Amino acid sequence: MVAFGKKLKDRQIQEWQGYYINYKLMKKKVKQYDNQIKAGSLDRRHVLKDFSRMLDNQIERIVLFMLEQQGVLASRISELNKQQESLQEQPDISKIIELRESYRDVGRDLLKLLFFVEINAIGLRKILKKFDKRFGYRFTDYYVKTRANHPYSQLQQVFKHVGLGAVVGAISRNLADLQDRQGSYLSIYDQPSLPLQDSVVDSLQAAVDRLSHSTNFLNFLAQHALIMQEEFPTPVEEQVDDQRYHFMSLILNLANTFLYMVNTYIIVPTADDYSMSLGAAATVCGIVIGAMAVAQIFSSVYFSAWSNRSYFRPLVFSSIVLFVGNIMYALAYDLKSIPVLLIGRIFCG
């Protein structure tokens, strides 16, 4: 399993590396606090104060960089707006197309900034969760509530992202306006159809939705102390793999269900006749049926623990074992072997 810190680093934008939350440093600090508390050299109050100060510094660096980038994007949009106004007096189709592409470039840079904020929000909630888990405090609840409700809150910038929304709105509106204007200067023979909405705008809206989902943890926690599971934003190419992964899981799940129903509706009603055909008493069918139930007592605990770490692998393993168990149950007839039959039933369990 790849460590969270490595995932975080792999998803960072290279030229902005110095502005991300330093998850590795903070994780190291949490471990250091733990050792010092156990040694008796630190008390709880000092740990909370020091960690709060460190978080404040991390968030401040993130927010100031985000605001700086917002300002750069806003300046670029303002400059493009001036060019757009001049086109109203002297329309030029080639300049309109060029201007649309310039807005798209700003949109692509805004996507990078949205991704930056999202990654930092995930890193923040992960380190808060780790701190609470290590020390058993409700520090996350305290920290988010006190920072979110402060009049000069920088944390609000992370999960409200009002400024980013305004930039998204400006890009979307201007692209739509230029698209309408471009369409009015073209005949149906020049360009039969224009897309209803620019692909960059679609990407921006999807990124904003993802960011809202990621920062809901912080937003809700400030009101209800709700804890949610962390997830990284998924690149487009990984989404295809996820769909294939879920389809494979569905097939395995259905196969498991089918084999289990075979055991329930075919094997159980005929267990007494099957036992007698192998030379055993009819009462042995009780052991045959019960062997699977006994095995399930242990396997349910084991698979529950395993599936907390991975869902796909235990599903594959259980499918294989269930298949082997049914094969052994069938082979017991040719081998005239009660032990093979019982082992097959245990495997099925």
In this structure, the answer to whether residues 213 and 67 fall within a common structural domain is yes
Q: For 14-30, what is the mean pLDDT?
A: 90
> Same domain, yes or no, for 110 and 11?
yes
* Contact call for residues 51 and 33 (beta carbons, < 8 A): yes
| Same-domain status, 146 and 18 | yes
Give the pLDDT confidence score for residue 197 in this predicted structure: 61
Of 208, 12, 220, 26, give the one whose Cα is nearest residue 119: 12
Straight-line distance from the first to the last Cα atom of the chain, in angstroms, rounded to the nearest whole number: 28
Task: Calculate what percentage of the chain has a pLDDT beyond 90.
Answer: 9
User: How sure is the predictor about 308, in pLDDT bands with cuts at 50, 70 and 90?
Assistant: low
Q: Round to whole Å and give the CA distance between 203 and 100.
A: 16
Within this chain, do residues 217 and 286 fall inside the same structural domain, yes or no? no
Q: Cα(287)–Cα(76) distance, rounded to whole angstroms?
A: 78
Looking at 233, 260, 288, the residue that finishes a domain is: 233
Decide if 338 contacts 330 (C-beta within 8 A): no
Q: Indicate left, alpha or beta for 45 from its phi (over 0: left) and psi (-120 to 50: alpha).
A: alpha
Q: 181-201, pLDDT tens digit by residue?
A: 765 444 434 444 444 467 788
Residue 116: CB atoms within 10 A of its CB come to 20
With a cut of 80, say whether residue 23 has pLDDT above it. yes
Q: Same domain, yes or no, for 193 and 207? A: yes
Please say whether the beta carbons of 349 and 294 come within 8 A.
yes
Last residue of a domain, one of 233, 266, 299: 233
Question: Is pLDDT above 90 for 72?
Answer: yes
118 in the same domain as 209: yes
The count of structural domains within the chain is 2
For residue 35, which phi and psi values (nearest 5 degrees)?
-65, -40
Identify the pLDDT of residue 2. Answer: 57
Can you give the pLDDT at residue 239? 41
Average pLDDT over residues 28-47: 86
What letter would DSSP give residue 154? S
Judged against a pLDDT cut of 80, whether residue 104 lies above it is answered with: yes
Contacts with 77 (C-beta within 8 Å, 6 or more apart), sequence order: 103, 106, 167, 170, 171, 174
Does residue 83 share a domain with residue 40?
Answer: yes
CA–CA distance, 218 with 159 (Å, rounded to integer): 7
pLDDT reported for residue 68: 92
Quick one: 106 and 179 in the same domain? yes
Average pLDDT of the chain to the nearest whole number: 76
Last residue within a domain, chosen from 182, 214, 233: 233
How far apart (Å, rounded) are the C-alpha atoms in residues 27 and 17?
A: 17
Q: Same structural domain for residues 76 and 220?
A: yes
Distance CA 130, CA 136 (A): 10
Distance CA 89, CA 99 (A): 15
Separation of alpha carbons 159 and 150, rounded Å: 14
Q: Where are the alpha helices (DSSP H) in the chain?
A: 4-10, 23-39, 44-89, 93-135, 139-148, 155-160, 162-184, 199-224, 236-262, 271-277, 284-307, 312-335, 338-348
Structural domain boundaries, residue 324:
239-348
Write down the pLDDT at residue 75.
92
